Structure 1
Amino acid sequence: MLRSLCCLFIALFTTTIFAADEQFKLGPDSERQADVPVGKLQRYEHESKVFEGTKRYYWVYVPAQYKPEQAAAVMVFQDGNAYADVKGEFRTPIVFDNLIAKGKMPVTIGIYINPGHKGELKSESPWQANNRSFEYDTLSDQYSRFLLDEILPTVGKDYKLTDDPNQRAICGISSGGICAFTVAWERPDAFRKVLSHVGSFTNIRGGHVYHALIRKTPNKPLRIFLQDGSNDVNNEHGNWWLANLEMESALKYKKYDHKFVGGDGGHNGKHGGAILPESLEWLWRVE
């Protein structure tokens, strides 16, 4: 009897989350438009020195409007394949095409980086990488060094990238979301725009301290967009929804340039993908 009740509760809970997620729909800026120029997306492989012994795939998106003589803005994505997939939850290259064509964001080169994997690369899925949590959830400057010492110089050999921190953004989902914040927090001289989807500001590797650090640290020149849902994960590491509310409260207290969009979705990219065009417009707005 007890087992049957537990199974019924789990089924109802899962159905509730599914129903909540199903309300989020992609809009026209996440779909191909006939009159919009299409950028190019190419995959590469990288072996890291900062994260010794790891290999990873990464993708570079170059908009059709890019001109070699003009430095382009830069946006880096963790769990790169999830964001680069034009049939996935985010479809970021399509959104970039549409927003750049509308003048809603600058000519921006997107760099989509999978987490590192120790061993042979067998999958493009970021979720299969065995070094993901160490790279993303650790509170240190290591991942920012990986970007600034390895990835950006490598991409910069082929494309002219800006070195203006106000024209550099970084984004991620879950552990990739806290990683994006960590990079900007550690190196605001290099990245000043952050987009976090269902960010793991919990105690996986100490990330639960950020809301307290924000309150006690002099303000940094950051612009931060947070998205989460009330049906996000609640486990031994913490409660994702409450952790994001704590982050939003701390950012509000310190008067950061920030925005929090909450919903009732779960731990996925459905809500974040549905509002991605609006999120990017807000992040790249000129005041």
Structure 2
Amino acid sequence: MDPNRHPWPSDAPDRFNQDATVVLQNAPVQPGTPPAAEADPELRRFTFDSRLLGNSREITLSFPRGLDPADPDIVLALIFDGEQAMNRIDAPRMLDTLTRQGALPPVVAVLIPSIDGRTRGKELPGNPLFAQALAEELLPRVAAETGIRPDPARTVLAGASYGGLAAATVALTRPDAFGKQLRSSR
């Protein structure tokens, strides 16, 4: 008998790609989950070559279709472990659902993947060079790709585990560029 009665995601290829979850009887549904059927964010990808970090990775941008880059309500969200945010929680469709429902303003999500475990362990936990690369190399590139003007007061860093640590340390290292943070331990 499998002790994991609520594996997540349920459609993972095997039990090693699932997390155990606890589902309480009267727990409310998590906002934006499951994503609405009509959720259809625009996805745009580009290769981010960082001179400071000496590496490259594919960044995914996600935002509501028809986004007005001059909209003062836009929130820019840099999400660490972007491959997990895409594949495990479907962050683009979840954010689009919440925007459609009026629960969030328009969000431009920047899904930043970890290149590999070694790079993740080097970049995410308290690396000032990583913070500098995000502020001085990635933000200008996102602005060029989307036409938005990042406002530190409306720029959020988000992550869990090492990503949560990165959200805190990058915000502390570069408050001139990143004014908000969401973090979680795992």
1:33 corresponds to:
36
The whole-number CA distance in structure 2 between the counterparts of 1:50 and 1:79 is 19
1:151 corresponds to:
138
Q: CA deviation at 1:168?
A: 0.7
Moved more, 159-168 or 173-182: 159-168
Q: CA deviation at 1:79?
A: 0.9
Query: Residue 175 of structure 2 aligns to a residue in which SS?
Result: coil
Task: Check whether the contact 1:30–1:91 (CA below 8 A) recurs between aligned residues.
Answer: no
1:49 corresponds to:
51
The whole-number CA distance in structure 2 between the counterparts of 1:151 and 1:65 is 23
RMSD of equivalent CA atoms: 2.7
Task: Check whether the contact 2:63–2:96 (CA below 8 A) recurs between aligned residues.
Answer: no
1:78 corresponds to:
80
Structure having the larger proportion of residues in helix: 1
The whole-number CA distance in structure 1 between the counterparts of 2:35 and 2:152 is 30
The whole-number CA distance in structure 1 between the counterparts of 2:159 and 2:176 is 19
2:106 corresponds to:
107
Query: Residue 30 of structure 1 aligns to a residue in which SS?
Result: coil
Going from structure 1 to structure 2, the CA distance change for 1:103 and 1:162 (only over 3 Å counts) comes to farther
1:92 corresponds to:
91
Task: Check whether the contact 1:70–1:160 (CA below 8 A) recurs between aligned residues.
Answer: no
The whole-number CA distance in structure 2 between the counterparts of 1:163 and 1:152 is 7
Q: CA deviation at 1:56?
A: 1.5
Structure having the larger proportion of residues in strand: 2
- The count of aligned residue pairs is 169
1:178 corresponds to:
165
Which residue type is aligned with residue 96 of structure 2?
Answer: D
Task: Check whether the contact 1:73–1:168 (CA below 8 A) recurs between aligned residues.
Answer: yes
Structure 1 residues not aligned, in runs of 5+? 1-13, 117-127, 199-266, 268-287
Which residue type is aligned with residue 130 of structure 1?
Answer: R
2:181 corresponds to:
194
The whole-number CA distance in structure 1 between the counterparts of 2:121 and 2:91 is 23
Q: 2:119 aligns with which of 121, 125, 131?
A: 131
Q: Encode CA deviations 1:208-251: one digit per residue, 9 max, x unaligned.
A: xxxxxxxxxxxxxxxxxxxxxxxxxxxxxxxxxxxxxxxxxxxx
Query: Residue 131 of structure 1 aligns to a residue in which SS?
Result: helix
The whole-number CA distance in structure 1 between the counterparts of 2:42 and 2:102 is 18
Query: Residue 146 of structure 2 aligns to a residue in which SS?
Result: coil
Q: CA deviation at 1:37?
A: 4.8
Q: CA deviation at 1:39?
A: 1.0
TM-score, with normalisation over the residues of structure 2?
A: 0.77
1:64 aligns with 2:65: yes
The whole-number CA distance in structure 1 between the counterparts of 2:178 and 2:140 is 15
Task: Check whether the contact 2:124–2:166 (CA below 8 A) recurs between aligned residues.
Answer: yes
Task: Check whether the contact 1:73–1:162 (CA below 8 A) recurs between aligned residues.
Answer: no
Task: Check whether the contact 1:79–1:115 (CA below 8 A) recurs between aligned residues.
Answer: yes
The whole-number CA distance in structure 2 between the counterparts of 1:166 and 1:192 is 5
The whole-number CA distance in structure 1 between the counterparts of 2:140 and 2:104 is 23
Going from structure 1 to structure 2, the CA distance change for 1:168 and 1:62 (only over 3 Å counts) comes to same
Query: Residue 20 of structure 2 aligns to a residue in which SS?
Result: helix
The whole-number CA distance in structure 1 between the counterparts of 2:111 and 2:146 is 15
The whole-number CA distance in structure 1 between the counterparts of 2:81 and 2:113 is 5
